[in-house]
Chain A
Amino acid sequence: MKHVQTLNTRKLQNTVKKGGCCTSCGNQTEQCK
């Protein structure tokens, strides 16, 4: 694209199906790798 550079290809909506199977106190990803 001429006017846009997209930095990432992974879409959050694509983690719904296989996600939801990871405690924290946004950087850790096996199921979703």
Chain B
Amino acid sequence: MIHQYQNNGYNIVLDVNSGAIHVVDELMYEVIGLYEVHSPEEIRALLADKYEAAEIDEALSEIDELIESKELFTPDEYEGYIEELGKNRPTVVKALCLHIAHDCNLACKYCFAEEGEYHGKRELMSYEVGKAALDFLVANSGNRRNLEVDFFGGEPTLNFQVVKDLVAYGRNLEKEHDKKFRFTLTTNGVLLNDDIMEFANREMDNVVLSIDGRPEVHNFMRPFPNGSGSYDLVVPKYKKFADSRDQQRYYVRGTFTHHNLDFAEDVLHLADLGFKQISVEPVVAPESADYAIREEDLPRLYEEYDKLAQEMIKRHKNGEDFNFFHFMIDLEGGPCVAKRLSGCGSGTEYLAVTPWGDLYPCHQFVGNEEFLLGNVYEGVKRDDIVADFKSCNVYSKEKCKNCFARFYCSGGCAANSYNFHGSIHDAYDIGCALQKKRVECAIMIKAALAQED
């Protein structure tokens, strides 16, 4: 299977099953497009008015060479492999998302956690529950040494002493059990101060700083409960925080909505503020929400991704690079096929913990009792739900199994699929469309940079 497309003057051919990326000339682009359904004689006849026969034969010969080296029209031989792997490989818990606070000091309009409450009550996680969660993680991680704990909310800085105490507890567990914790923090920035920054710089492998972009965009969607904006308060703190981390091991992370379809301006605004690690992502919201992304928004959003990609190439040439999370793609590395086709690990390797210790497949499922797996004291009781998540891979989804982006997307988000289709074995269509566009842009950037080198 191949995917061929043209973007920013480049003719690009992706050989889906090998991951090979080819930048080709006009002749080759046309010949490849005809190759699977026409004989060499037919191709020569079809292109005779545009190209010399010798040139066409040259292209056909190069195609044969690429097929021989398994870099073009490579067959998909992975489906059985993934099924066997799923049956034979025991899964361990690798990561927990600790909901340190089901409470928040902002009233963001698009928050899936509903001002931090997750369809329930306001509550802070106690040290005892957090300790039990870390004990659960260690006990269920098998021989795996590297473990991950995300401090999440709500707003975790509302309960920061517990964060500090749990990190200290985790460091003790490391020595006792030969484990290594990777801690991360996601914050809205309101309560950030020197003490929190210093602690995070010492203990947090990554921090995520929520900001949507331009002041009017940010303040419209991320107000305080009294309606006033939060941009002016958080931006100076974020700049100081990012610089104190040498512009590494963090993301400024925003959400774009139907109200700012020109989101490339927000990405570039963040870059112009000096941030080097940026993610601005489409909102996922019920169709009834006024800020939801709609199907008719897609052409405009495609234009914005193109515009952003071209600007990033331009800035690269000027030495003004920044990373954009959704354009990050590693053509020479990246995960193995097994990981790429298996998905994110939610419900099996990654679990979310509520302030009172309940376990859910991920933070997006918290509050939906159908997905309550158990708790940190008694462990996972719903093995049927875990088995369903474990069986969830690219080949369990009709929309994904023949999609060109499947090795970059891994089948999408189970929660989005469930929220839009009532099943984790489906895919959220607008998310798919945008993901495919982002993959195309990310590969085009690589092509442009390769040409430059």
Contact = CB atoms under 8 A, between A and B. Distances in A.
Q: Do A and B come from one complex?
A: yes
Interface of A: 1-13, 15-16, 18-29, 31-33
A7 B331 contact: yes
Interface stretch (B1-9, B62-70, B297-305): B62-70
B333 A10 contact: yes
Contact of A11 (B20, B25, B78, B330): B20
B407 A12 contact: yes
A19 B62 contact: no
A15 B332 CA distance: 12
Nearest to A3: B28
Contacts of A7: 21-23, 331, 446-447, 450
A2 to B, nearest CB: 6
Contacts of B332: 8-10
Interface in B227-267: none
Interface residues of B, number: 54
Nearest to B74: A13
A26 B334 contact: yes
Interface stretch (B170-178, B187-195, B344-352, B417-425): B344-352
List of 7 A-B pairs having minimum Cβ-Cβ separation, nearest first? A19-B336, A20-B338, A23-B345, A15-B336, A3-B28, A29-B333, A8-B331
Contacts of B362: 25
A15 to B, nearest CB: 4
B387 interface: no
Contact of A23 (B19, B27, B148, B333): B148
A10 B340 CA distance: 15
A6 B334 contact: no
B399 to A, nearest CB: 18
12 contacts: A6-B20, A6-B21, A6-B23, A11-B20, A13-B18, A13-B70, A16-B78, A19-B338, A20-B337, A24-B335, A24-B344, A28-B334
Nearest to B88: A20
A4 B60 CA distance: 12
A20 B66 CA distance: 27
Given A13-B77, A27-B328, A29-B330, A4 B62 contact: yes
Given A5-B22, A8-B20, 7 more contacts: A6-B20, A20-B337, A23-B94, A23-B344, A24-B339, A26-B329, A27-B330
Nearest to A7: B21
A31 B330 CA distance: 16
Interface in B192-207: none
B408 interface: yes
A3 B19 contact: no
B339 A22 contact: yes
Interface in B388-432: 407-410, 413
Nearest to B349: A23
A5 B11 CA distance: 10
B344 A25 contact: yes
Given A3-B28, A23-B345, A26-B335, A12 B330 contact: no
Nearest to B348: A23
Contact of A26 (B28, B338, B340, B446): B340
A3 B77 contact: no
A15 B334 CA distance: 10
